[in-house]
Structure 1
């Protein structure tokens, strides 16, 4: 019989589960950085340890958050929610991770997702009630898990909901020039033009560093805040303490662009290297410089070159910003959420709303990108 035990810290989870079940994805190092990053006013983390006959067989990271519903529903519904204050925020128990594009449930070899979803959902329902969370959401799971979740929806009454897709570039052989050849001719022309024009204001110095010093961290965090404030979708707000923690991890690599004359940092990109996969995780840009220098595209060029240099065969770039990513050759990675509200009436209401959520309603650029794939 399957049982679920709860741990409140990543360090309390048996090391064998992290090592065996979270290879190639954000693992213990990631969750420890989140726990120690001063985010406790936004998230409450916990880890569902799956056991069979008293032995650990799997792990499902979770977090609780008060979710602004206007982030996940179509604009017309968001306007309606503004006049119903009690529905604007939903205390929600998520399976997955904040700031992570794709949900992961780690299982030891010999166990299938379909076998554990039902008992795990039952444990989640109990925890949601104990924590006064109105909703339970399996956050951003991919096509490979879809059949198992359809079975869960049928047996436990959850409803599916289209989520913001991830984005990824498969890196063809040949380095940066090989990558350029994979782009549509017009997109390749535009990227080369932007890279050329970006150098007109002056040369930039490129550095790729690990474990940057305090002065560098402060500069890049200031740039991150500029980008955060400019963004339309704000699911979480990262702290300086989080950057201090994540900077210590060997998986973290910072691409820094600085003014070639003054030495002032004008842009950065934080990338992770996980096996043969690179992840473009966070960026920060000085927008007083950025438009003229096309800093985002110069960061991207360096990220692609770095990815090749470390042996990566795929570069993930996360959710949002789809128009630009389409031009840079990204493919969409379909993701879905699976939800249950504790209130039966609201469960039906939110389920009906979820049926109306499409790629087009999430972001108009998404439909165009999907049609081009």
Structure 2
């Protein structure tokens, strides 16, 4: 098999290579990127004005302008803090979480050649939650271990457990998914045990709400840390996009095309665990983003990863910005966990994608 096969089209599992008309697909991809970036900017600009506080759109942008050195807002310190310390970092973190989780889902689906793979299904999110809870409630590390480091350790341990279970069962992508389900339940149970046995009532309420996915505690530190880690992961994954195309044909074909299968898989899975851990430590376990949105992006730009990954990132960012806006305004001042909203939206959307995939076969 030559590299031309990868460049001219991608084989759909169980079917022939699908040609990729270069001029048409390039035009569609450019349009998706332009529209996606515009939608993301508009989404952030609009949703930052949402909230239960009595602040007009003019007030919100006066505060932002004042912090950028453009005039003075004329508002109180409390009103300034609501916009600059609460709404804006929360909205930006939502965009980062959506981009990162969607990217991780696309990478894992490609590496494992399974459309059901994502950090939540494979137990990485549950493991990261366990690591974060160990640090937050039990104080593991005596303050030397941060929440993000604990979450990363838990994510790596969870994924190693899943891979070991799958290998012990004979390997194969189907067994990886089944092992992921088992790993998810295991680490969720461990997390629940820690919370119920060691946390007080106030900690229990806060942790359980956070485990369902919550951006209510977002601050500028979270935005910078998660943004830096996710940006690093995006760069690495984009540089590996051609190798991911080769993985579509299977490990043997990828190896014959000159891809170092073990090295690339180890690198990308480590990056995926790192991104997931950082996002879970800041926002809790948010499901269905990495499962559904890569499929939506494939419908827009096709399966080639040089185009799929940027589209997935943009779709994920826009999606999470609006999900968070709904979560904090639908029943204001009471807030819905973000993970609840993603599940309510994600399950029907995933069902539609499955039906469309069935109809195209």
Interval of TM-score (by shorter of Structure 1 and Structure 2): under 0.3
Q: Which has the higher contact order (CA 8 A, sep 6+)?
A: 2
Q: More strand per residue: 1 or 2?
A: 1
More helix by share: 2
